[in-house]
Amino acid sequence: MDYLRKIISTLVISTSIAACVGGDDDDDHEGSTLNVIDADKTHQVLAFNDQGMHCADSDYSVFTILPPFNTVRAQVIEKAAAPRILDEGVATVSYMGVADAAGSINTTSQNQPGGIWKSNFWDTNPDTGNSYAFDLFGIDLQPDEGLLGQQMPGILNPYVANDPQPFGSYAATQAWFTADGVPIMPIDDFGQVNPYPLMRISAADSSSGDSLATLDVVLPVASEAGCQNCHATDQDYIDYPEPIDLLNAAKRNILMLHDTQHGTALASNTPVLCADCHYSEALAFTWNGGSNKTLSNVMHEHHGTVASFPSDSMEDTCYQCHPGERTDCLRGAMGSAGMECQDCHGGMLAVGSDSREPWLDEPRCESCHTGDAVDNLTADADTVVNTLDTDGNTDNIRLRQAWRVGDPSATPIIAVNARFAEQDNKLYKDSLGHGGVACEGCHGSTHAIWPSSIANDNQAAIDLQGYSGTIIECGVCHTSLPLTLGGPHGMHNVNSSAWTMEHEGFYERNPSACRACHGVNLEGTILSRTAADRNFLRDDDGDSTIHLPQGTPVGCGHCHSKP
């Protein structure tokens, strides 16, 4: 990945040098020196899975926690000086399978002759003559059809067809197209496990049908809830006549245990949907009411209370059930920096606490990104956990734990300075930022925040701006820009010779605006790091240049004495 990043940033540099040296004869510098990314592209489609990982059972014959159900969203942007986010009146969006660099492609969730087994969701239950999907959800599904009607692109003829499927709806308030419940499974068309399958998202002009833009994004999915780690051997599952694997055995044991403890008759009424009795927000569309505890509450609280249940590390605790042992659900910037589930969510009892609403009360980006270099919560050192570098110094900007020290309910911290915050009372996945662009459009999905440790995740960012990481190149969407501090989170023009030459007035009008990211002493901070290698002229004569390698915390002193 580093290698790729280098090559591509070299390309970016060469255009920027050309712009500095010869290309810029517009003397007011207004809007002429932007490095437009892919200048021949007139549109961009930003696409993102709502969650960083979706879990789906593979065996539906005993019970199910979650069905195959991924949700992809897309915004279509017309590039311009003032970019326009297009609505359903003007654009349509579709998805189809596409091979990743390793050749893995996933177009269908149907089992195939030759032993390629993806799931039995659509298979007929011999006891009832219905599909398991129907027995569980009461919905009649075509092969490859999801619970809300979205289909896998191989539906007509799996393995031969790969027909673009339209996004089923458009949310006007969010200005995004949605494909809800695409029933993808983590087994590719060759029978290999791939929890990070790519889909190609295409936007087209709704009247002419002409293609506007495409983007390849991951629909992350895993089926490794490890109930069998503990429940496979603690009961007498050999009573069951058919040859069953460990997971199937464990699931039967769990039903028997539940029946013993709570007087239910689950074992004799398979297949069981746990969410029929224990509400799950993830399956709100199928809820019929009831007053039992929620599914998240019973799972975390009960297991968190069981004495034999391990409690400290992420591997021993959360990864017992959440995709971790084989699949990296936590694989983005924070995961790579060593943060674990508990640093953000708290432990089992915090997650299972009655005081929170599952799926809605979650940690927030702003809980750790509590502001900027001038105004943040890192000074509350006795109640927050600061981020330390290898020498033990704090970065004075970001926290490492989303909740205050000693808070057993792990209530997410709310930032006072909202520079990097979600919208009020909205989840990250539902928040919009700069210009109405979705946070996930510029940062990727939760738990997979760019740069990710998984190559397929990074593909979309690379397609958009040439390298992975936060989308920071203004020219991805803008075709021209005046000099400004009106970019995302108060950013200015990036990689722009006009900005480098003419920021004087901005500093003089409001010196603290620069300090917010460049540091209290204008020394450079993690909020002013170069996203790619940059080369700038040091003065108008053009006889001296400055090279700022990728990752340099830009300080004013890099180019001249501090003002």
How near is the Cβ of 171 to ligand HEC at its closest, in Å? 15
Return the closest-CA partner of residue 503 out of 483, 517, 518: 483
Long-range contacts formed by 139-146: CB under 8 A, 24+ apart: 143/110, 144/108, 144/109, 144/110, 144/183, 145/183, 146/68, 146/69, 146/180, 146/181, 146/182, 146/183
Nearest CB to ligand HEC, comparing residues 99 and 418: 418
What does the block give as tokens for 559? 């180019």
Nearest CB to ligand HEC, comparing residues 200 and 447: 447
Query: Is residue 19 near ligand HEC by the rule CB under 6 A?
Result: no
Q: Which position's Cβ is nearest ligand HEC? A: 435
Q: Which of positions 124-143 make contact with ligand HEC (CB under 6 A)?
A: none
How near is the Cβ of 113 to ligand HEC at its closest, in Å? 31
Q: Which of 272, 384, 461, 498 binds ligand HEC (CB under 6 A)?
A: 272
Q: Which of 161, 359, 380, 480 binds ligand HEC (CB under 6 A)?
A: 359
How near is the Cβ of 56 to ligand HEC at its closest, in Å? 11
Q: Which of positions 360-419 make contact with ligand HEC (CB under 6 A)?
A: 362-365, 367-369, 387, 398-402
Per-residue contact flags (x/-) with ligand HEC for residues 544 to 563, judged by CB under 6 A:
--x-x-----x-x-xxx--x
How near is the Cβ of 122 to ligand HEC at its closest, in Å? 21
Of the ranges 122-130, 203-211, 251-259, 452-460, which one interacts with ligand HEC (CB under 6 A)? 251-259
Of the ranges 136-144, 179-187, 237-245, 476-484, which one interacts with ligand HEC (CB under 6 A)? 476-484
Of the ranges 17-25, 93-101, 127-135, 266-274, which one interacts with ligand HEC (CB under 6 A)? 266-274
8 Å CB contact between 396 and 380? no
Residue with token string 């993806």: 118
Query: Is residue 174 near ligand HEC by the rule CB under 6 A?
Result: no
What count of other Cβ atoms lies within 10 Å of the Cβ of residue 233? 12
In angstroms, what CA-CA distances link 554 with 30, 494, 533? 23, 12, 12
Nearest CB to ligand HEC, comparing residues 98 and 437: 437
Return the closest-CA partner of residue 275 out of 128, 33, 491, 69: 69
Of the ranges 2-10, 117-125, 165-173, 518-526, which one interacts with ligand HEC (CB under 6 A)? 518-526
What count of other Cβ atoms lies within 10 Å of the Cβ of residue 448? 30
Return the closest-CA partner of residue 481 out of 2, 26, 88: 26
Q: Which of positions 297-326 make contact with ligand HEC (CB under 6 A)?
A: 298-303, 306, 308-309, 314, 317-318, 320-322, 324
What count of other Cβ atoms lies within 10 Å of the Cβ of residue 134? 16
What does the block give as tokens for 339? 């943060």
How near is the Cβ of 454 to ligand HEC at its closest, in Å? 14
Query: Is residue 173 near ligand HEC by the rule CB under 6 A?
Result: no
Measured distance CA(256)–CA(231) in Å, rounded: 11
Measured distance CA(115)–CA(385) in Å, rounded: 50
Query: Is residue 221 near ligand HEC by the rule CB under 6 A?
Result: no
How near is the Cβ of 69 to ligand HEC at its closest, in Å? 11
Query: Is residue 487 near ligand HEC by the rule CB under 6 A?
Result: yes
8 Å CB contact between 186 and 16? no
Of the ranges 119-127, 153-161, 210-218, 521-529, which one interacts with ligand HEC (CB under 6 A)? 521-529
Residue with token string 């996203």: 531
Burial class (CB in 10 A: 0-12, 13-18, 19+), 298: middle
How near is the Cβ of 133 to ligand HEC at its closest, in Å? 17
What does the block give as tokens for 454? 């998984």
Burial class (CB in 10 A: 0-12, 13-18, 19+), 478: buried
Q: Which of positions 58-87 make contact with ligand HEC (CB under 6 A)?
A: 63, 65-66, 77, 82-83, 85
Measured distance CA(511)–CA(415) in Å, rounded: 23
How near is the Cβ of 182 to ligand HEC at its closest, in Å? 16
How near is the Cβ of 164 to ligand HEC at its closest, in Å? 23
Query: Is residue 518 near ligand HEC by the rule CB under 6 A?
Result: yes
Query: Is residue 506 near ligand HEC by the rule CB under 6 A?
Result: yes
